Amino acid sequence: MLVTLSFEQIYQRCDLAELDFADTTELNQLTRPLGQERALDAIEFGVDIKHSGFNVFALGPPGVGKHELVNSILATRGENHSPQFDWCYVNNFDDPQKPLLLKLKAGMGSRFSKDMLQLVEDILISLPSAFLNEEYRNQLREIEETMNERHEQAFSQLSADAKKQNVVLVRTPAGFSLAPTDGDEIISPEKYAELAPAERERIEKNIAKLQLELQKVVSQLPMLKREASREIQSLNKGITRLTVEQFVDSLKAEYQDYAEIIDYLQAASDFAIENAEVFLPQDDAVEVANVKQKAIAFIPFRVNVLVSNTPGDQVPLIFEDNPTYQNLIGRVEYISEMGNLATDLTLIRAGALHRANGGYLVLDARKLLSHMYAWEGLKRTLISGEVKISSLQEALSLGSTLSLEPESVPIKVKVILLGEPFLYYLLQEYDPDFTKLFNVAAEFSGSTERNPENLQLYAQQIATMQQREGISPIEKNAVGRLIEHASRLLEDGARLSLGLEQIGELIREADYWATKRNSKVIASEDIEKTITSQRHRHDHIRERLQQQIIRDIKLIDTDGSKPAQINGLSVLQLGNHAFGTPTRITATARLGSGKLIDIERESRLGGDIHSKGVMIISAYLAEKYAREQPLPLSASLVFEQSYGGIDGDSASCAEVCVLLSAIGDIPLRQDLAVTGSMNQLGEVQAIGGVNHKVEGFFNICAERGLTGRQGVILPAANQVHLMLNADVRDAVKAGRFHLYVANHVEDVMAQLTGIQPGKLGKRGQFSKGSFNRRISDRIDALLKLQRKFGNSAEGDAKSPNGN
């Protein structure tokens, strides 16, 4: 027999007597979130344990406050921790493509960067001045005069030797030449032609010898210039060394405890001494006004402070909202110069792992996995214990642009991933590295038991949100309504939803409605207004579907009785909005071979779970009515006017009833709708979305007019889930709408037909007048027809002569 539910049984009200306050201003904030003790313990363990591999994966449904709880725990873990460091990149003078890493105490990175910038400014100002003083100019002039003097001496000696042989050394714009002389005059070509051949031969031999000597003297000039140049370079180095080392030595004294800085400063000093010209202006003027810009542009001495910390700060707590590969690992940026891409050490950028070094990094698992190579990059870092900055193209061996290769940063970080349970179990199943790196699972609950103790704590949770966000105080009756809505969200009157995000949105909107009516507190009417408004904003499609039913475009009967036709119930989910709607299910039954055709499945609209439900129905029919004989019928099931996919087994109870109606030609009440799954024994099982389903059928009946006979049959196991809206509750209270709970499909069939199922007698027959007897009799009749047609077919198959 079905049990009719009373008004009190379809909605679990909040007992306001269990809430000891007038409004939420009288309540203390919760220091530990309600219902998350298991997750809290796991996070604290994962954060506190120092061994590698104990990173945390916080798993749970969206909106339960994973991020807030993780942040609140990590914020208290920063005081007794190892000191923080600054990480800097500086130029590698031996290989500029591989910048060097410096590890400095917190706060020293920016200081060292400023000191290096000042060093460049000092050199840019002082070095040109050193090269402009009189002493330097005198030394430079002396080197040049010495070179010229040696050069002239060589020519003078050559000229004297030539004169002894009656040859003169002549300087021309084109160079030097040798000519014969007669006394002090050069012999003209005409006179030279008149000389005796022996004399001309003697002169030519002398000139040839002197020509060789001239070539030697001329060839010595580059060597003299090289020697002078070396002397000048030596002089310049000496001047540069005196200028540069006085500044560098002062920095060395300041950073004497840092061997890496001392080595870098020495390399920088050597570079400046060897390349003094880069510090000198193009002309003799020292442009003091542009020194700072020139110092900034002088890359070899720049310090790139990758990560800067302040002494005394708590450990880093970084939440990376966009965990791409480069945002995690860091990157080397490029600038366009004359159509070409160029980079330098100042364009190295830190990633979230650098900023979280020595602390905690919180990531959204779904976002992390959605970005190419980000998960692999994170794993590589955690396994190796260092961050290697490389482009995604380089990591995938696709890059062709010459890039920097910064020294890897050693890292010690605790990573906390936030995600849904299915992501956790997928990673655990398919990634062998996952369990090695994330040994701690912090599982958040989506609900908690609804008992007096938790009601008070839930009220405190609401007060915590109200007080932290500066929302108007919430009256006790409004808190009670929120608690009831929390059960409604969960579709379980015995439990409370811990979806704080939804509750928070509701409170904020209720604050708006309270302010609009000039109230300083949020009352239950504001909560009710918010719930109604939220539903109304998303209710357009439901209203359109309901109008199709009211206008008889979609056929649904809510009165009378008809065979082989029943009202099933389904739920449509559109984002976060769900609503129920009735669906007509029909069946046919005829003589056949026992095949049950699922038209939804045959048309590829039915899902696997729905097909499973239909097979269970087929097994139930065979067990119930054909244990010792064939089932001589073929039947079909279909959801009428359904043009999309159908899945789930929540209609299997209605489907077996409509099949039995089709087999026995038994009318079914159309003023009742049925929901519930069933097993092979005919037991009715719980389903989801029961509140939406009941309200969906109620809305149609109310629109057409309640007759006092209409209602919904649902599984008894779903009674605890009922949190129906006020319209349904009022109709049930007034006796204009009914809810029935069932444990067996025979009880459902009895309610739909008004006929009892009957009992199976000793002769294997059901009681007369029962619907089981009518169905059995119909099956027997079909079996006789099957035998008759079978014999006829056998006779037709015989040969004409009777053989």
Catalytic residue numbers read 650, 693
Select from 219, 215, 216, 191 the least CA-distant residue to 203. 191
Q: Alpha-carbon distance 179 to 195, whole Å?
A: 15
334, with CB counted inside 10 A (0-12, 13-18, 19+), is: middle
Residue 371, token pair as written in the block: 């970005």
**Segment holding 419, helix H or strand E:** strand 414-419
Q: Hey, how many other C-beta atoms are within 10 angstroms of the C-beta on 315?
A: 22
Q: Alpha-carbon distance 692 to 198, whole Å?
A: 134
Q: How far is CA 109 from CA 261, 297, 309, 408, 453, in A?
A: 11, 19, 8, 17, 53
CA-based radius of gyration for the chain = 48
490: left (phi over 0), alpha (psi -120 to 50) or beta: alpha
Q: Alpha-carbon distance 678 to 744, whole Å?
A: 8
Count Cα atoms within 13 angstroms, Cβ side, for 268. 28
Q: Is the dihedral of CA 262, 265, 270, 271 positive or negative?
A: positive
Q: Alpha-carbon distance 679 to 743, whole Å?
A: 11
Q: Tell how far CA 714 is from the center of its chain.
A: 41
Q: Alpha-carbon distance 722 to 11, whole Å?
A: 6
Whether 457 and 33 have beta carbons less than 8 Å apart is answered as no
Beta bridge partners of 168: 179
Q: Alpha-carbon distance 194 to 202, whole Å?
A: 14
- In one-letter notation, the amino acid at residue 584 is R
31, with CB counted inside 10 A (0-12, 13-18, 19+), is: exposed
Residue 34: helix, strand or coil by DSSP?
Answer: coil
Q: How many residues does the chain have?
A: 803
Whether 137 and 386 have beta carbons less than 8 Å apart is answered as no
Q: Is the dihedral of CA 418, 419, 425, 426 positive or negative?
A: negative
Instruction: Supply the angle between the helices 108-132 and 134-164 in degrees, to the nearest 10.
Output: 40
Q: Tell how far CA 472 is from the center of its chain.
A: 34
Q: Alpha-carbon distance 675 to 742, whole Å?
A: 10
Alpha helices in 63-187 (DSSP H): 66-74, 108-132, 134-164
Cα end-to-end distance, the chain, whole Å: 59
Cα dihedral 777→778→780→783 (10° resolution): 180
Select from 666, 636, 633, 639 the least CA-distant residue to 752. 666
Whether 47 and 70 have beta carbons less than 8 Å apart is answered as no
Whether 143 and 132 have beta carbons less than 8 Å apart is answered as no
Q: How far is CA 177 from CA 155, 159, 184, 366, 560, in A?
A: 12, 11, 16, 88, 135
Whether 415 and 43 have beta carbons less than 8 Å apart is answered as no
How many helices (H) and strands (E) are present in the chain, helices listed first? 27, 31
Residue 374, token pair as written in the block: 């980000």
Whether 455 and 19 have beta carbons less than 8 Å apart is answered as yes
